[in-house]
Chain A
Amino acid sequence: MTDAGATDAKAAKAISPGKIPELMKPLLRYAPLLILALAWEASSRLGLVSSLALPPLSEVAAAWVDLARSGELESAAAASLYRGGAGLALAVIVGGALGIGMASWRPLNLMLGPLVELFYPMPKSALIPVTVLWLGFGDGSKILLIFLGCMLPVTIGAYNGARGSDRLLMWSARSMGASRLRMIWDVVMPSALPEMLNGVRTALALSFILLVSSELIAARQGLGYLIGSLGADGSYEAMFAVVLTVAMLGFIADRVYLAVVARAMRWRQ
């Protein structure tokens, strides 16, 4: 319980939840963002800040529309999402399999466990130069980067989840004649799922970071590259537009992921 004294009880009375209609709640919650947006527009238009450094939000929006119409945004997004998606998918499949495998076979755990521990604290972005070295500026280096960088959280999540598998469940499955493989599929994987899904969530956020970083640094197309080139051109409105797009994509991806997972888990219960 987290009541912080009599004064908080009074505060709770003042903002009594019963008095706010359901539809208003998300509006009230995100209102500060609206305020920020208005402040942005106002301070830029009124000259409070240099409109070069901070173009009015309305102009950024207009630039966004232009980019969308010209197809530039779409092609950049397509390139980025392809790379991110492919890398993440590989990371999830291989990482998940590895994690579950490590939890189920001691030899594998003994071999790979220390490697996982070793690479865990290493900043994954340190892999950017080496993937560029190997595969250049194209899709390949990004996919490899994201695959390698995002594998670890998934592996650790899957491993921890699988470790937690109810022993009794596993033994009763075995006694019913399930083969090792079957048991993994029927018992270990489902119980590993929640923690693994948590690991995937971390990997999702990480994939965005690695994607944007590598595209800012060494790419010829994609959203990160687009931001850089628009900035270099001096088209700051458009640059802001793409920056916000990327930021929102990261946020939306996370929320969508949570919603899908929540739906799927409920369906499983």
Chain B
Amino acid sequence: MNGPAQIVIEDVCHYYRPPVGREVLALENISLEVREREFLALLGPSGCGKSTLLYLIGGFLPTETGKILVDGKPVRGPGPDRGIVFQHFALFPWKTVRKNVLYGLERQSLPRAEREARAQAFIDLVGLTGFEDSYPSQLSGGMKQRTAIARTLAFDPRTLLMDEPFGALDAQTRSLMQAELLSIWEKTRKTVIFVTHDVHEAVYLAERVAVMSARPGRIKTIVETRFDKTDPEVHRTKAFVDKVEEVWSLVREEAIKAQQKKSP
């Protein structure tokens, strides 16, 4: 099952400072623990700061108030122990699929043959065999996201940070990718923190869902969402549907609040 707390977030606040105008409180007193090998979803309406929290964990934004500990050590910047996957893929367009996947591996001191082998293994894992020498501009959205996932998995991060990775894909590709992500997670058993605004996706993929409030973002509730994901019809079981409804009503309140803030 899951291990002890791997990531500890304590009383973290974050201010968003626009180039003009006053600063805005984006996150308020976030406290959260993520266990080893757990799949946790961060769910909330637009603007609630869920991506910001992910970036703080990733070290892309500095933690100014409170602390974030990963494996007992405070986060000081980005690093290969927390791999990130972005919604818009962030592939290097001038590199082929293979070169993209190799990039992270090149930063680690591995012998060349091993690097190439690992890269190929992950390209195969995400089902892109045969496309190693294609450029991102030649790939479909789903294929680009698979490349991004392969690239991040290749350098073997303990934790996977995913920022609405399937948001830019069409509905069919999205459900295919969700199932694939679960099977990859089963195989590699990493800690995953998955940001989304899609309730169904959160309940389906995650073991726990942290529902966030509208801005300033707080952790409203954490809901347990363990189901037998190997059952292909799991999303039709009563337990699942009830859970989705439960989480949805939590989110709906916040979504309405977020809307009201936009039009005073």
Are A and B close enough to touch in the complex, i.e. CB under 8 Å?
A: yes
- Seen from chain A, the residues whose Cβ lies within 8 Å of a Cβ on chain B are 5-6, 9-10, 12-13, 16-18
Interface bits B18-37 vs A (CB < 8 Å: 1, else 0) = 01101000000000000000
By a CB distance below 8 angstroms, the chain A residues around B17 are 12-13, 16
* A13 and B22 alpha carbons, distance in the complex (Å): 13
The answer to whether B127 has its CB under 8 Å from any CB of chain A is no
List residues of B (1-57) whose CB comes within 8 Å of A's CBs.
17, 19-20, 22
Q: List 17 A-B contacts (CB under 8 A).
A: A5-B60, A5-B78, A6-B59, A6-B60, A6-B61, A6-B62, A6-B77, A6-B78, A9-B61, A9-B62, A10-B62, A12-B17, A13-B17, A16-B17, A17-B19, A17-B20, A18-B22
Interface bits B64-86 vs A (CB < 8 Å: 1, else 0) = 00000000000001100000000
* A107 and B77 alpha carbons, distance in the complex (Å): 62
Q: Would you give the shortest CB distance from A56 to chain B, in whole angstroms? A: 41
* A232 and B60 alpha carbons, distance in the complex (Å): 61
* A5 and B59 alpha carbons, distance in the complex (Å): 9
A-B CB proximity, top 10 nearest: A6-B62, A6-B77, A9-B62, A6-B60, A9-B61, A10-B62, A6-B61, A6-B59, A17-B19, A5-B60
The SS class assigned to the A binding surface is helix
Q: Would you give the shortest CB distance from A24 to chain B, in whole angstroms? A: 16
By a CB distance below 8 angstroms, the chain B residues around A10 are 62
* A10 and B76 alpha carbons, distance in the complex (Å): 13
Q: Would you give the shortest CB distance from B86 to chain A, in whole angstroms? A: 12
Task: Using CB atoms, name the residue of chain B closest to A18.
Answer: B22
By a CB distance below 8 angstroms, the chain A residues around B78 are 5-6
By a CB distance below 8 angstroms, the chain B residues around A6 are 59-62, 77-78
* A27 and B60 alpha carbons, distance in the complex (Å): 34
Q: Would you give the shortest CB distance from A6 to chain B, in whole angstroms? A: 5
Q: Would you give the shortest CB distance from A32 to chain B, in whole angstroms? A: 22
A10, A12, A17 interface centre (most CB from chain B within 10 Å): A17
By a CB distance below 8 angstroms, the chain B residues around A17 are 19-20
* A16 and B60 alpha carbons, distance in the complex (Å): 19
Q: Would you give the shortest CB distance from B160 to chain A, in whole angstroms? A: 20
A12, A16, A18 interface centre (most CB from chain B within 10 Å): A18
Q: Would you give the shortest CB distance from A14 to chain B, in whole angstroms? A: 12
* A16 and B19 alpha carbons, distance in the complex (Å): 9
* A90 and B136 alpha carbons, distance in the complex (Å): 49
* A24 and B61 alpha carbons, distance in the complex (Å): 30
Q: Would you give the shortest CB distance from A1 to chain B, in whole angstroms? A: 11
Task: Using CB atoms, name the residue of chain B closest to A12.
Answer: B17
Task: Using CB atoms, name the residue of chain B closest to A7.
Answer: B77
Q: Would you give the shortest CB distance from A16 to chain B, in whole angstroms? A: 8
Task: Using CB atoms, name the residue of chain A closest to B58.
Answer: A6
* A5 and B19 alpha carbons, distance in the complex (Å): 16
By a CB distance below 8 angstroms, the chain B residues around A12 are 17
By a CB distance below 8 angstroms, the chain B residues around A18 are 22
By a CB distance below 8 angstroms, the chain B residues around A13 are 17
Q: Would you give the shortest CB distance from B82 to chain A, in whole angstroms? A: 13
* A16 and B62 alpha carbons, distance in the complex (Å): 16
Q: Would you give the shortest CB distance from B192 to chain A, in whole angstroms? A: 23
Task: Using CB atoms, name the residue of chain B closest to A9.
Answer: B62
Q: Would you give the shortest CB distance from B57 to chain A, in whole angstroms? A: 13
Q: Would you give the shortest CB distance from A18 to chain B, in whole angstroms? A: 8
By a CB distance below 8 angstroms, the chain A residues around B59 are 6
* A184 and B216 alpha carbons, distance in the complex (Å): 52
* A267 and B251 alpha carbons, distance in the complex (Å): 45
By a CB distance below 8 angstroms, the chain A residues around B22 are 18
Q: Would you give the shortest CB distance from B167 to chain A, in whole angstroms? A: 16
By a CB distance below 8 angstroms, the chain A residues around B60 are 5-6
Other contacts beyond A10-B62, A16-B17: 15, CB < 8 A: A5-B60, A5-B78, A6-B59, A6-B60, A6-B61, A6-B62, A6-B77, A6-B78, A9-B61, A9-B62, A12-B17, A13-B17, A17-B19, A17-B20, A18-B22
* A17 and B23 alpha carbons, distance in the complex (Å): 11
By a CB distance below 8 angstroms, the chain B residues around A5 are 60, 78
Q: Would you give the shortest CB distance from A5 to chain B, in whole angstroms? A: 7
* A9 and B78 alpha carbons, distance in the complex (Å): 14
* A18 and B60 alpha carbons, distance in the complex (Å): 24
* A17 and B22 alpha carbons, distance in the complex (Å): 10
Task: Using CB atoms, name the residue of chain B closest to A16.
Answer: B17
Interface bits B198-211 vs A (CB < 8 Å: 1, else 0) = 00000000000000
